Amino acid sequence: MNFTDIIYEKSDRVATITLNRPERMNAWRAQLERELRAATADAEEDPQIGAIVVTGAGKAFCAGLDMAALTKIASESGLGDELAEGRDGKSLNPNFRGRFAWLLAMKKPVIGAINGACVGMGFAHALHFDIRIASERARMGTIFPRRGLAIELGASWLLPRIVGLANAVELAVTGKLIDGAEAYRIGLVSKVVPHDELLPAARAIASEIANQCSPLGAGHAKRMVYEHLFTDLSTACADEDRTAVLMTRSEDFKEGIKAFTEKRAPRFTGK
């Protein structure tokens, strides 16, 4: 696929996807979403890729839905295909069917490098990343109430689980933007770094996962963390036990033990 709205790169077992409409502050549109889905699917299926980084070109991560689409919606009878496309997602798990929820069902970790404004639809999208780190220039928020809308796209479910109920409600009903320091304080991001260090920092996290962790181990760990949000403790423990048995029969487990005893870097295959 020829990409126009994103830049897609692979290096050191890490795939980097850059939203690339800087003149529009990387505003969301159907073409961008199609390309993002295609690149993410390619990275998920590539055995040479262990983790994915998503960031934005220019001064913004994503300023939300493109204003042309919003203007069209406002001038007509309401929501149309601009927002409804891809609503079912691609996950077979019914808990992860949604506009962005399929990201949670991916086997490979997704790290968001929030480089600037991350609002509205861009904010909801970023909530579905497994790890988020922010530039000191980042500004994040729902902004929905300030545009005559309400929280959407899975944010009402994810936000309280990420930042706690009180912080989630405040962000949801005020639509205010917060900076990187405040995002770190409430747990929205795990790290804030100088702007010029953002992408190297995100890639370093992704490279550590991709090159030092078993794809099977990381994939099952991610799966269980999200799936167990819908289960009770005993069910979660039983799933962990079954997974542990399967993992001890894997080639990755044997390689992990061998690499440790030989004091060398592991060479995991995901088998």
Residue 39 sits in a domain whose CATH number is 3.90.226.10
Per the domain annotation, does 269 fall within a domain? no
pLDDT digits (tens, 9 = 90+) for 56-113: 999 999 999 886 655 554 444 444 443 333 434 444 578 888 889 999 999 999 999 9
217 in Cβ contact with 247 (< 8 Å) = yes
pLDDT digits (tens, 9 = 90+) for 147-167: 888 999 999 999 999 999 999
97 and 229 fall within a common domain: no
195 in Cβ contact with 139 (< 8 Å) = no
107 and 168 fall within a common domain: yes
108 and 238 fall within a common domain: no
Per the domain annotation, does 112 fall within a domain? yes
151 and 18 fall within a common domain: yes
267 in Cβ contact with 255 (< 8 Å) = yes
221 and 119 fall within a common domain: no
Residue 245 is predicted with a pLDDT of: 95
203 and 254 fall within a common domain: no
Gap between the Cα atoms of 199 and 114, Å rounded: 9
Cβ count near 253 (within 10 Å): 17
65 in Cβ contact with 82 (< 8 Å) = yes
Centroid of chain to Cα 270: 22
Gap between the Cα atoms of 141 and 209, Å rounded: 28
Residue written as token pair 């009878």 = 77
113 and 227 fall within a common domain: no
Cβ count near 67 (within 10 Å): 12
Residue 69 is predicted with a pLDDT of: 58
225 and 135 fall within a common domain: no
Q: Which domain holds residue 217?
A: 213-261
201 and 255 fall within a common domain: no
65 and 181 fall within a common domain: yes
Gap between the Cα atoms of 99 and 90, Å rounded: 9
Per the domain annotation, does 94 fall within a domain? yes
Gap between the Cα atoms of 39 and 16, Å rounded: 9
pLDDT digits (tens, 9 = 90+) for 120-147: 999 999 999 999 999 999 999 999 988 8
Six-digit token string for 207 = 């490279």
Sheet holding 131-135, edge to edge: 6-11, 14-19, 51-56, 110-114, 131-135, 191-193
Q: Which domain-ending residue is among 210, 226, 241?
A: 210
Per the domain annotation, does 271 fall within a domain? no
Cβ count near 165 (within 10 Å): 10
Q: What SS3 class is residue 172?
A: helix
Q: Which domain-ending residue is among 170, 191, 210?
A: 210
15 in Cβ contact with 49 (< 8 Å) = yes
pLDDT digits (tens, 9 = 90+) for 4-50: 999 999 999 999 999 999 999 999 999 999 999 999 999 999 999 99
> Based on the structure, what is the number of domains in the chain?
2
17 and 143 fall within a common domain: yes
Q: What SS3 class is residue 54?
A: strand
Per the domain annotation, does 270 fall within a domain? no
CATH number for the domain harbouring residue 252: 1.10.12
Six-digit token string for 265 = 């870097």
For 270: left if phi > 0, alpha if psi spans -120 to 50, otherwise beta; the answer is left
Per the domain annotation, does 268 fall within a domain? no
Q: What SS3 class is residue 226?
A: helix
204 and 218 fall within a common domain: no
